[in-house]
């Protein structure tokens, strides 16, 4: 799947000490100069306009900034340099910016771990000492053994812009296939490392994107997917079609890799090969864009020359392979179950009449299922909060896993014979702790506990439900320091996503914590288009119903104002990728409702998004301008096409990156140029263009801190937050 927000990540995922300095006291006395500052004196770079118009089903649409789509042209590079000069010049002169960065750096400097897993008798775990640009991968011979360095991505580049994107360990634990991304690109180079020596073999695989790796049982090679090398050499913009599934044998060049499956008649099909835990089958998940419906094929690896069998080819539902019991395959599916269920299909008699339901649909949304200790571990969402249950293989529930509170639990990986598993638990005010679940005792113990420079007891989180424009009941989390007065004057950060079947659940963020330390309120609504309530919730925010997502977000803002949390001039909205589209659409539809807007790596041109890299894949969620009816809906909310000349827009900091090959930066370039031309108010509207960075995955810690410092400094100045110093200067209740 190639949704906007995330792609394959390392199996042991890195998570995102006390000595609390009074961060807010550093701000005391420095905010006064900000209160009367405006952007009236700003001079934006000149963005030339070309006479470019396109005919969409009889409607002519101007596209005067089309030339900015060529990111390699000297003209575009000059524009980028000029915009960054204005933006960074403006940000660097904000008096509180350096103090905000200092506090971010201090808070970020805490030891954190990914969720460990076991393979071949060894444990593997990622760890970040605090300010390392990239988390480091280690191995252990036992849980109480010392960590042994396996791979340190920080040594692969001086500025931390080479990231470990994903990896897979052979069954015997001796070899690791791993993918590296440079400067945030989705393109990966794959290598192989000997776990015993921590040395690389000679294997190198190129042009890999949207792929993991799955080892053969004998450890002689692995299955992976790749594209052909872009013909025009423009690897950051060329459209990605015709993915192919290969087997790479260790010690051989990539040119000798065995082509396992491809479909030259189906350019949009992509393939994810997974070897069953018993080594018997290669299960091939066939995906088509971001559509959650799948096809499932398989190949018998124990039968020489066996053909690929098309097991599920109706493209009628989502099917996630959980595991197998011989020829019986278990799937997590939403077929006839909008919130998900578990079924069994016997491949020797695959007719639908023979399918068996193992775990029926529940009131909660089923998010993930694994098989460990000969039991199903099922993770659910109950109003966007984690709930974990254990079932026998026959389907009878045995127990619920006791979680530490209201938050997000993730992990629960392992093999069928394992008697332990690990998971992380996090919330808005709880950094990700790692827990070990022992099936013998049926209980959890803390394996690693982070220690961050703040007191969680100073904060509170509540979940409320509000009505959207059409009456739909939508949940929203609200987090802030205790004692916040509901006087309508609190600076409030409203963050959203709303798309691609992705759920936003409670998670810890250093950047958001700093916002709350400054007296800010953080609000997270669970908009339609996401996965919080299953298939129907997702479909309620797709294609011709996409406006529902924006209505949900606008209604959240109106609820916060009506209930005296904030007011329009103290309200900032933010979101990234599809969430950047959300911000762009809402600020153009209701510019008077918000004081500031932070659209990050957003899809801003809804008429041309499908013409670059993997953008075609999003048509399953958005629709396409090639379709007359869908064009009308897209044109009606496309942020780029709904800016109105002479309007007063909220202070806006558009952010993007030069190596973003998921949502190409031309979206943000064109939107920023058009916004600067249309906007007639004094509020600053500018673009921050990061270099040697991509869509967000693998971004070095240093760049994350710099960007967060710029973001909050911009907001503090834009919203004239005079109460920040006072709100944040209160001594924490932990006495520091």
- 579 membership: H or E segment, kind and range: helix 578-589
Q: Which pLDDT does position 233 carry in this prediction?
A: 60
* String of DSSP letters for 487-519: SS---EEEE----TTPPP-----HHHHHHHHTT
590 vs 596: CA distance, rounded Å: 12
For residue 616, the number of C-alpha atoms closer than 13 Å in the C-beta half-sphere is: 14
Does residue 577 have a pLDDT over 60? yes
The DSSP call for residue 618 is: G
Region 217-232: what's the mean pLDDT?
92
CA angle 384, 295, 209 (to 5 degrees): 75
Tokens standing for residue 489: 């004057």
620 vs 629: CA distance, rounded Å: 14
pLDDT band at 725 (very low <50, low <70, confident <90, very high): very low
Give the other-Cβ count within 10 Å of 162's Cβ.
23
The position carrying tokens 């945030």 is 184
SS3 555: helix
Domain positions in the chain: 23-42+76-106+454-728, 155-448
Nearest to 242 by CA among 261, 260, 227: 227
For residue 128, the number of C-alpha atoms closer than 13 Å in the C-beta half-sphere is: 26
Q: Which pLDDT does position 726 carry in this prediction?
A: 34
Does residue 28 have a pLDDT over 50? no
Q: Which pLDDT does position 72 carry in this prediction?
A: 85
For the question of residue 216 being annotated catalytic, the response is no
* String of DSSP letters for 100-135: HHHHHHHHH---EE---EEETTEEEEEEE-SS-SS-
Residues sharing a CB contact under 8 Å with residue 441, sequence separation 6 or more, in sequence order: none
560 vs 552: CA distance, rounded Å: 12
User: What percentage of the chain reaches a pLDDT higher than 70?
Assistant: 90
Q: Which pLDDT does position 516 carry in this prediction?
A: 97
CB-CB contact of 329 with 321 (8 Å)? yes
580 vs 576: CA distance, rounded Å: 4
Tokens standing for residue 643: 């800016």
CB-CB contact of 30 with 317 (8 Å)? no
Give the other-Cβ count within 10 Å of 248's Cβ.
23
pLDDT digits (tens, 9 = 90+) for 97-118: 999 999 999 999 999 999 999 9
Q: Could you name the CATH architecture of 155-448?
A: 7 Propeller (2.130)
Q: Which residue has the higher pLDDT, 226 or 699?
A: 226
Mean pLDDT of the chain: 91
pLDDT digits (tens, 9 = 90+) for 423-466: 999 999 999 999 999 999 999 999 999 999 999 999 999 999 99
Tokens standing for residue 26: 């550093």
Nearest to 118 by CA among 164, 165, 171: 171
Select which of 551, 668, 695, 710 is catalytic: 695
729 vs 218: CA distance, rounded Å: 60
pLDDT digits (tens, 9 = 90+) for 308-339: 999 999 999 999 999 999 999 999 999 999 99
The DSSP call for residue 186 is: S
For the question of residue 577 being annotated catalytic, the response is yes
Give the other-Cβ count within 10 Å of 81's Cβ.
11
Tokens standing for residue 359: 């775990």
pLDDT digits (tens, 9 = 90+) for 84-99: 999 999 999 998 999 9
For residue 704, the number of C-alpha atoms closer than 13 Å in the C-beta half-sphere is: 25
Select which of 379, 577, 620, 668 is catalytic: 577
Question: Superfamily for 23-42+76-106+454-728?
Answer: Alpha/Beta hydrolase fold, catalytic domain (3.40.50.1820)
pLDDT band at 161 (very low <50, low <70, confident <90, very high): confident
Residues sharing a CB contact under 8 Å with residue 444, sequence separation 6 or more, in sequence order: 401, 402, 423, 435, 436, 437, 438
For the question of residue 509 being annotated catalytic, the response is no
Q: Which pLDDT does position 694 carry in this prediction?
A: 57
pLDDT digits (tens, 9 = 90+) for 602-631: 999 999 999 998 898 999 999 999 999 999
pLDDT band at 691 (very low <50, low <70, confident <90, very high): confident
Region 262-270: what's the mean pLDDT?
95
Q: Which pLDDT does position 182 carry in this prediction?
A: 87
Helix-then-strand count for the chain, H and E: 12, 39
CB-CB contact of 233 with 248 (8 Å)? no
For residue 636, the number of C-alpha atoms closer than 13 Å in the C-beta half-sphere is: 15
392 vs 399: CA distance, rounded Å: 10
Select which of 8, 257, 458, 660 is catalytic: 660
Nearest to 509 by CA among 518, 497, 522: 522
Q: Which residue has the higher pLDDT, 464 or 731?
A: 464
Region 683-705: what's the mean pLDDT?
83
511 vs 523: CA distance, rounded Å: 14
pLDDT digits (tens, 9 = 90+) for 522-546: 999 999 999 999 999 999 999 999 9
Q: Which residue has the higher pLDDT, 172 or 39?
A: 172
């Amino acid at each position: 799947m190639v949704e906007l927000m995330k792609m394959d990540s390392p199996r042991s995922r890195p998570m995102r000490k006390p000595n609390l300095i009074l961060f807010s006291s550093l701000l005391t006395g420095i905010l006064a100069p900000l209160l009367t500052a405006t952007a009236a004196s700003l001079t934006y770079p000149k963005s030339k306009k070309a006479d470019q118009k396109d005919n969409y089903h009889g409607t002519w649409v101007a596209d005067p900034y089309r030339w900015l789509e060529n990111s390699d042209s000297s003209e575009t590079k000059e524009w980028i340099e000029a915009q960054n000069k204005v933006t960074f010049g403006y940000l660097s002169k904000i008096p509180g910016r350096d103090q905000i960065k200092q506090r971010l750096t201090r808070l970020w400097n805490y030891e954190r771990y990914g969720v460990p897993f076991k393979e071949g008798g060894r444990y593997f775990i990622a760890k970040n000492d605090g300010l390392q640009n990239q988390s480091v991968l280690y191995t252990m011979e036992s849980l109480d053994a010392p960590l042994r360095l396996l791979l340190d991505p920080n040594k692969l580049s001086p500025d931390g812009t080479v990231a470990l994107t994903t990896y897979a360990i052979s069954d015997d634990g001796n070899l690791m296939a791993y993918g590296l991304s440079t400067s945030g690109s989705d393109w990966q180079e794959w290598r192989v490392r000997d776990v015993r020596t921590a040395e690389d073999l000679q294997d190198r695989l190129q042009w890999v994107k949207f792929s993991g790796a799955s080892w053969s049982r004998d450890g002689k090679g692995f299955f992976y997917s790749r594209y052909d090398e872009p013909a025009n050499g423009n690897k950051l913009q060329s459209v990605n079609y015709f993915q192919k599934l290969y087997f790479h044998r260790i010690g051989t060049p990539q040119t000798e890799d065995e082509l396992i499956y491809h479909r030259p008649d189906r350019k949009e099909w992509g393939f994810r090969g997974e070897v069953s835990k018993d080594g018997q089958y290669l299960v091939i998940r066939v995906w088509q864009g971001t559509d959650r419906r799948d096809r499932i094929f398989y190949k018998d690896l124990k039968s020489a020359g066996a053909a690929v069998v098309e097991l599920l080819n109706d493209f009628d539902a989502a099917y996630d392979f959980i595991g197998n019991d011989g020829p019986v395959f278990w799937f997590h599916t939403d077929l006839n179950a909008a919130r998900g269920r578990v079924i069994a299909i016997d491949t020797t008699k695959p007719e639908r009449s023979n399918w068996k339901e193992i775990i029926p649909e529940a009131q909660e949304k089923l998010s993930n299922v694994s098989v460990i200790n000969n039991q199903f571990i099922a993770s659910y969402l109950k109003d966007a909060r984690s709930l974990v249950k254990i079932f026998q293989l026959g389907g009878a529930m045995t127990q619920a896993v006791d979680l530490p509170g209201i938050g997000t639990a993730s992990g629960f990986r392992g093999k069928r014979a394992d008697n332990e598993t690990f998971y992380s638990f996090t919330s808005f005010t709880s950094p990700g702790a790692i827990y070990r679940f022992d099936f013998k005792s049926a209980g959890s113990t803390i394996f690693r506990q982070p220690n961050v420079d703040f007191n969680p007891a100073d904060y509170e989180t509540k979940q409320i439900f509000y009505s959207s424009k059409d009456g739909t009941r939508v949940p929203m989390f609200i987090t802030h320091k205790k004692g916040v007065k509901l006087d309508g004057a609190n600076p409030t950060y409203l963050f959203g996503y709303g798309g691609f079947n992705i759920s936003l659940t409670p998670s810890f963020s250093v950047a958001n914590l700093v916002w709350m330390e400054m007296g800010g309120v953080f609000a997270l609504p669970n908009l339609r288009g996401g996965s919080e309530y299953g298939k129907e919730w997702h479909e309620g925010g797709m294609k011709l119903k996409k406006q529902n997502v924006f209505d949900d977000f606008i209604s959240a803002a109106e609820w916060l104002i009506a209930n005296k949390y904030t007011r329009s001039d103290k309200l900032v909205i933010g979101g990234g990728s599809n969430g950047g589209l959300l911000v762009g659409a809402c600020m153009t539809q209701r510019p008077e409702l918000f004081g500031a807007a932070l659209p990050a790596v957003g899809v801003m041109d809804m008429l041309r998004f499908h013409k670059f890299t993997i953008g075609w894949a999003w048509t399953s969620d958005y629709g396409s301008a090639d379709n007359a009816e869908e064009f009308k809906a897209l044109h009606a909310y496309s942020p780029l096409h709904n800016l109105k000349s002479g309007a007063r827009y909220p202070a806006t900091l558009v952010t993007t990156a030069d190596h973003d090959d998921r949502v190409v930066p031309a979206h943000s370039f064109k939107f920023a140029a058009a916004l600067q031309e249309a906007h007639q108010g004094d509020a600053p509207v500018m673009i921050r263009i990061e270099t040697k960075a991509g869509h967000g995955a693998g971004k070095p810690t240093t760049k994350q801190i710099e960007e967060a410092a710029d973001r909050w400094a911009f907001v503090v100045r834009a919203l004239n937050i005079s109460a920040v110093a006072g709100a944040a200067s209160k001594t924490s209740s932990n006495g520091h």
